[in-house]
């Protein structure tokens, strides 16, 4: 995005369907300056429908199906929000999600696919599994195999149901029955020639095809037909056609049989601010069957039209092809090709389909490098190719910070105390002790709501670590340049997220300051009240155990995400942990900790060194005991490190192995865990109690006699 361009339009993509995934890729190569792009999807990845039969048959691992939306969003410069949309307030131009503020939009596009769930069929919601959406189905199929398999009933005799049945037969062998039940004639949408070949494939595979029979109900281990027949079914799969998602009915949009009616420009027929594409849309002038090929072909037109609408320019029409090539999987590595009523196939058709599918996935999951060339002439020592991390990874290193603060005079006031080794000061007012701390973060995540939650939890760390109770909060907010409307939307998300965190911990937001700058930065100044003398770094005792309440590796993981290399599921899981408050852990530890700190920018080794050094002790760390964020160690092995890593390493006297896990000791942590020194006699009980509260807790080391601040790892 052009750095000096004011953000003026919010474009929101609802759903991570194929068209939106392709749009993100195109947007990354040619963004629209001044537009803020947002993707809302329930999960960080989206499954690719074309490879589902191959996954069921065992030809592809689960990850081969997954389009990584986190990587695509990073490439596009878009924010991604994990959530399921439940409605659209078209008058307010807001998209509704449970558990967070509505998302404002100027333009919105819907690409949520379809569902094959059967909520009106008795027992299906409890005992059946819809083939679409694909994510839950893939999980259920994996569990079915892990449980030893068993008979399968597929409700629906279209192409999708037949593909799944053949794939299941190939994967399970002939030990378990596979049955297809179709209410009318099976494969009615195909030519007689193609349908005949598929019927022959089913017969050869020993798959029973029951036609003109309706299902009466689904039970735990059987499917009961209306004529009284009972079919054994350890797994019942719904693949009977397609249904739109029900929440669309309440939007007031023009619908055709529940699907969003759109013009040739892919724009809603009764709302110029909303577009729709893919299986959830109905092309009013050129109706087509539900097929992924049309979503893929519509993606470039959608991208052009969203940009044109945001820039008040004319739109162009989408002209779908009349027919398309169907490549139908046959379970084993064979496929049947169908077009214009003709069919042909074999192993070569599978190889063709496999090549098309892999090429499509590579296109989405391997983004091109768009880095600008460095200047030919630059000052000695200047760097242009090294990415500057965000969060705590962008902070000033401990060596430079300590040197800059070394010559400052101590407090001249008797009621102000520093030197506790933490970032907080203690103010004494009569018998009242107030802890004061501040922290701010450069944005590492484009969703202001999620980022604000993490920044709020992060800012509370020093208050919790000193055993104080959060009291009052001042917010410092730097927004990128944006219009008044976008400022209002963004501030509303930030302040609601922060308020949720602070209010739950008993603190009140009492004011703050806001301004505009180059990028989103959030900070909070927090006060807390300490009934007892604050816990400091200096009270640790020899043989004390070190308890850590949260995994490490967030700095490496976030650096990998910024580089487009982290897996979306790993990032989403880390964000959830980083957004979770630790007040309950602090309250439990504060009655027992001899010394305590929070693990943030200096990394676990740096903060453990400061705690041990202030206590006149050394520390021994058990590397195998340290909990790690998923993906962090693998990225460390790739050599990915945060900007501050070198400075963190240089600041600690360290003895131990040089390997990826050890490298994470110096990884800066944003919203990191609490590190407490507790008596060895109660460490195990405390760790168990903290785990019961939901924290990923471990005893990771011991304070020992030795050179103060020395860290030894093994």
Active site residues: 392
Q: What is the DSSP letter of 570?
A: H
Q: Retrieve residue 1's tokens.
A: 């995005």
Residue pair 390/442 in contact by the 8 Å Cβ criterion: yes
Q: What is the DSSP letter of 375?
A: P
Query: Considering just the CA atoms, what is the radius of gyration of the chain in Å?
Result: 29
Residue pair 522/477 in contact by the 8 Å Cβ criterion: yes
Q: Which residue has the tokens 């039970």?
A: 219
Residue pair 349/327 in contact by the 8 Å Cβ criterion: yes
Would you call 529 helix, strand, or coil by DSSP?
strand
* Pairwise CA distance, residues 418 & 164, whole Å: 67
Q: Retrieve residue 701's tokens.
A: 């080391």
Q: Retrieve residue 521's tokens.
A: 């930065």
The DSSP secondary structure of 200-269, one letter per residue, reads HHHHHHT-EEE-S--EEEE-SSEEEETTS-EEE-SEEEE-SS-B--GGGGGG---EETTEEEE-TTSBBS
Q: Retrieve residue 72's tokens.
A: 């695509």
Q: Within a 10 A sphere around the Cβ of 83, how many other Cβ atoms? A: 18
The CA-based diameter of the chain, rounded to the nearest angstrom, is 93
Nearest in space to 444 (alpha carbons), one of 306, 644, 661 = 644
Nearest in space to 573 (alpha carbons), one of 141, 140, 74, 70 = 70
Chain-centre distance for alpha carbon 134: 17
Nearest in space to 23 (alpha carbons), one of 304, 303, 276 = 303
């Amino acid at each position: 995005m052009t750095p000096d361009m004011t953000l003026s339009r919010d474009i929101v993509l609802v759903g991570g369907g194929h068209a939106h995934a392709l749009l993100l890729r195109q947007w990354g190569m040619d963004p629209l300056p001044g537009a803020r792009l947002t993707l809302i999807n329930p999960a960080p990845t989206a499954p690719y429908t074309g490879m589902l039969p191959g996954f069921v048959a065992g030809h592809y691992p689960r990850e081969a199906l997954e389009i990584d939306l986190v990587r695509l969003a990073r490439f596009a410069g878009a924010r991604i929000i994990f959530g399921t949309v439940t409605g659209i307030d078209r008058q307010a131009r807001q998209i509704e999600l449970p558990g967070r503020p509505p998302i404002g939009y100027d333009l919105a596009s819907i690409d949520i696919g379809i569902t094959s769930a059967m909520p009106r069929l008795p027992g299906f919601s409890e005992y059946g599994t819809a083939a679409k959406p694909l994510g839950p189905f893939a999980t259920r199929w994996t569990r079915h195999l892990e449980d030893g398999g068993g008979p399968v009933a597929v409700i629906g005799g279209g192409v999708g149901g037949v593909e799944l049945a053949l794939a299941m037969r190939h994967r399970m062998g002939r030990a378990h029955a596979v049955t297809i039940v179709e209410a009318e004639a099976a494969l009615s949408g195909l030519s007689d020639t193609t349908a005949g070949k598929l019927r022959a494939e089913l017969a050869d595979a020993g798959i029973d095809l029951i036609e003109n029979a309706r299902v009466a109900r689904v039970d735990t281990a059987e499917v009961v037909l209306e004529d009284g027949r009972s079919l054994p079914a350890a797994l019942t799969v719904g693949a009977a056609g397609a249904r739109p998602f029900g929440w669309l009915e309440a939007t007031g949009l023009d619908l055709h049989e529940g699907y969003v009616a759109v013009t040739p420009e892919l724009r809603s027929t009764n709302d110029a601010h909303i577009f729709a594409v893919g299986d959830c849309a109905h092309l009013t002038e050129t109706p087509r069957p539900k097929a992924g090929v049309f979503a893929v072909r519509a993606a470039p037109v959608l991208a052009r039209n969203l940009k044109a609408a945001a820039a008040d320019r004319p739109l162009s029409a989408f002209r779908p092809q009349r027919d398309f090539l169907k490549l139908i999987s046959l379970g084993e590595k064979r496929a049947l090709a169908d077009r214009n009523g003709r069919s042909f196939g074999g192993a070569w058709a599978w190889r063709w389909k496999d090549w098309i599918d892999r090429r499509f996935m590579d296109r989405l999951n391997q983004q091109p490098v768009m880095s600008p060339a460095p200047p030919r002439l630059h000052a000695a020592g200047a760097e242009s190719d090294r990415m500057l991390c965000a969060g705590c990874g962008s902070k000033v290193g401990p060596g430079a910070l300590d040197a800059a603060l070394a010559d400052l005079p101590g407090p001249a006031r008797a009621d102000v105390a520093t030197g506790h080794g933490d970032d907080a000061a203690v103010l004494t007012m009569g018998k009242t002790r107030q802890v004061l701390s501040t922290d701010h973060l450069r944005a590492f995540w484009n969703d202001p709501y999620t980022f604000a939650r993490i920044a709020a939890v992060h800012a509370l760390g020093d208050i919790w670590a000193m055993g104080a109770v959060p009291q009052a909060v001042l917010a410092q907010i730097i927004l990128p340049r944006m219009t008044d409307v976008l400022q209002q939307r963004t501030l509303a998300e930030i302040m609601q997220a922060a308020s949720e965190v602070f209010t739950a911990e008993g603190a009140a937001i009492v004011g703050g300051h806001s301004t505009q700058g180059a990028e989103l930065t959030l900070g909070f100044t927090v006060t807390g009240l300490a009934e007892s003398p604050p816990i400091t770094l200096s009270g640790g005792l020899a043989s004390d155990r070190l308890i850590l309440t949260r995994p490490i590796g967030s700095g490496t993981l976030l650096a990998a995400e910024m580089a487009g290399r982290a897996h979306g599921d790993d990032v989403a899981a880390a964000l959830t942990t980083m957004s979770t408050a630790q007040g309950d852990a602090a309250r439990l530890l504060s009655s027992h900790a001899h010394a305590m700190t929070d693990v943030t920018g200096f990394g676990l080794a740096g903060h453990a060194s400061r705690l041990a050094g202030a206590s006149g002790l050394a520390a021994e760390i058990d590397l195998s005991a340290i909990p790690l964020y998923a993906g962090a160690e693998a990225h460390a092995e790739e050599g990915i490190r945060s900007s501050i890593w070198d400075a963190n390493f240089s600041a600690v006297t360290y003895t131990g192995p040089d390997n990826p896990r050890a490298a994470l000791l110096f990884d800066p942590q944003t919203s990191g865990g609490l590190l407490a020194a507790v008596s060895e006699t109660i460490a195990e009980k405390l760790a168990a109690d903290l785990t019961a509260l939901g924290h990923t807790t471990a005893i990771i080391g011991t304070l020992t006699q030795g050179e103060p601040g020395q860290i030894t790892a093994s």
